[in-house]
Chain A
């Protein structure tokens, strides 16, 4: 093969290599700009990833739904339709295997297990990672724990998530309406 042909194929490969990360960015930007934003109550802990750095894993209070369907399989895709409750937090409207004819927003999640007896299905929401600067992930977990032990109705930890067409982008994690980063900076200044 001539050099110019190899180079042309290389240019295509280069374009694909640029397109994949660019597409990742455009999809997310689109959801952030035009998606609907919901609040999800959450509990964070901190692990890390060898290539992508430190993150806190978020467990959500909204992790199950009533379902008469007993055919749910572990790891299966589940569409979770949501709406906001009176306090502005997301709550399950309905779950389904296929799209429902409603204008409510939905998220594609994974079934963890299905309790046929109590008619509930447990699922894992996909936006469970919040990447943080390496020195801040651990304090974030500690701060959350600190606020959580002073259990009173005023302490709420939640994740702000933009949702559009089943895709979700995690925007930020809040404790009592301040981003978690705000507490870490205050914590470090003390």
Chain B
């Protein structure tokens, strides 16, 4: 962006659009801005370098050098750890720059892993990957706050999720619920909250927005045990929490690509509803669901339901959320439909299909009102997806299916064309 403006300056000067003074002011402004910013590129390469060296050391040690004696191998286990600790300690004492903090923290993170990996190897310590990852993450966790390091926080979240998946998506008798994942994630939360308060616009903050949402979405499945049909409800309510969080001004004022909460909340709800729009799914739910509150799945659902409801109520305080947006209420409606579904599959199937169509129309309406083509087409896509899905499980005649397809295709053209025209008119008026 910066270079683009600077490149255009000479052209603007030649054409007498701006004066020499304005041009030099602009150049001066960008020079000052660049000076006051830390060297981001250096930080990025520092972290990348430390990650590669750290992983490289782990791989070299994993070779298992069995010609060395146990003592030498043990010394090698501590060497990277000590180097990482000295570098990090030096960084703290000398109050080094952010680049130092990120790089030394990243290196120390991997050195901890290398050290306990090598000791496991030397003494043939049993225990699966999950336990190993957990010890590693816990030992590295305090570094987030001590070094004030984004990179270590990212690594802790990623490795905590890895641990949870290793423990929870293990389809043998070791399959357990990774409750400690929640503790690890909560431990990283204060850092994220501080980041949100200090620099909500920063790219790092958006990386964390995405990381938390994706991590929770991926890991939630590990909390499903025997009562699998309630898993649908768990996800619907989680997406409800996400979407409503995304509607709070701290997120909703940013661009959509930074607002992972709205994106995943909305997409997740729609994908889940598309799955639930098949009658077979409801028939299976009818057979398998237990609504007893004392199952793990129902408890988690209840927590998310309450949480989503609180965030929904809270978001109503803000002017922009006063108008009814069906996406914000989707989790409540689906929960009600789900309870109907545990007694009658057909009614639920129909209700889900209707809900999807209405959501599609709602998205089109929001898109048209705000002149945003992405949202308008998202709505059209939802409707198209419902129609395509219905082609798999209904006995409509080919002619009827053909006509429906043509109609939706025209819909795409027409809606986009009408909006483009309106937008042009509006621009001309201004």
Contacts and interface: CB of A to CB of B under 8 A. Distances in A.
Interface of A: 3, 6-7, 9-11, 13-14, 16-18, 20-21, 24-25, 28, 49-55, 74-75, 112, 126-134, 136, 169-170, 181
Given A17-B112, A52-B132, A128-B126, 15 more contacts: A13-B143, A14-B89, A18-B78, A21-B77, A21-B116, A25-B119, A25-B123, A51-B132, A52-B121, A53-B62, A127-B124, A130-B124, A133-B65, A133-B66, A181-B66
Given A18-B78, A51-B113, A51-B132, A3 B92 contact: yes
A169 B77 CA distance: 19
A150 B135 CA distance: 43
B74 interface: yes
A132 B64 CA distance: 6
Contacts of B123: 24-25, 28, 169
Given A17-B139, A136-B66, A126 B126 contact: yes
Contacts of B124: 55, 127, 129-131, 169-170
Contacts of A170: 124
B115 A21 contact: yes
Contacts of A51: 58, 62, 113, 117, 129, 132
Contacts of A21: 77-78, 81, 115-116, 119
A50 B165 CA distance: 15
Interface SS of chain B: helix, strand, loop or mixed?
Answer: helix
Nearest to A126: B126
A55 B126 CA distance: 11
Nearest to A7: B92
Contacts of B119: 21, 24-25
Contacts of B61: 53
Interface string B105-119: 000000011011111
B63 interface: yes
Contacts of A3: 92-93, 95
Contacts of A131: 64, 120-122, 124
B125 A28 contact: yes
15 contacts: A3-B92, A7-B92, A9-B142, A10-B89, A10-B142, A11-B89, A14-B89, A16-B139, A24-B119, A51-B132, A74-B173, A129-B126, A130-B124, A136-B66, A170-B124
A53 B95 CA distance: 37
B254 interface: no
A79 B89 CA distance: 44
Contacts of A50: 129
B299 interface: no
B194 interface: no
A181 to B, nearest CB: 7
A3 B146 CA distance: 10
B253 interface: no
Contacts of A132: 64, 66
Contacts of A6: 92, 146
Top 8 A-B residue pairs of the complex, sorted by shortest distance between their CB atoms: A53-B62, A28-B123, A170-B124, A131-B121, A133-B64, A13-B142, A52-B117, A126-B126
Interface string B260-291: 00000000000000000000000000000000
A181 B118 CA distance: 19
A24 B125 contact: yes
A134 B63 CA distance: 5
A131 B119 CA distance: 11
B201 to A, nearest CB: 26
B88 interface: yes
Contacts of A126: 126
Nearest to B66: A133
A10 B116 contact: no
Nearest to B65: A133
A166 to B, nearest CB: 13
A33 to B, nearest CB: 12
A128 B117 CA distance: 16
A82 to B, nearest CB: 17
B392 to A, nearest CB: 39
Given A53-B121, A134-B62, A7 B89 contact: yes
Contact of A10 (B64, B112, B118, B146): B146
A17 B110 CA distance: 12
Given A10-B92, A127-B126, A128-B126, A112 B64 contact: no
Given A131-B64, A132-B64, A20 B92 contact: no
A7 B93 contact: yes
Contacts of B121: 52-53, 55, 131
B87 to A, nearest CB: 11
Nearest to B88: A10
Contact of A13 (B74, B81, B146): B146
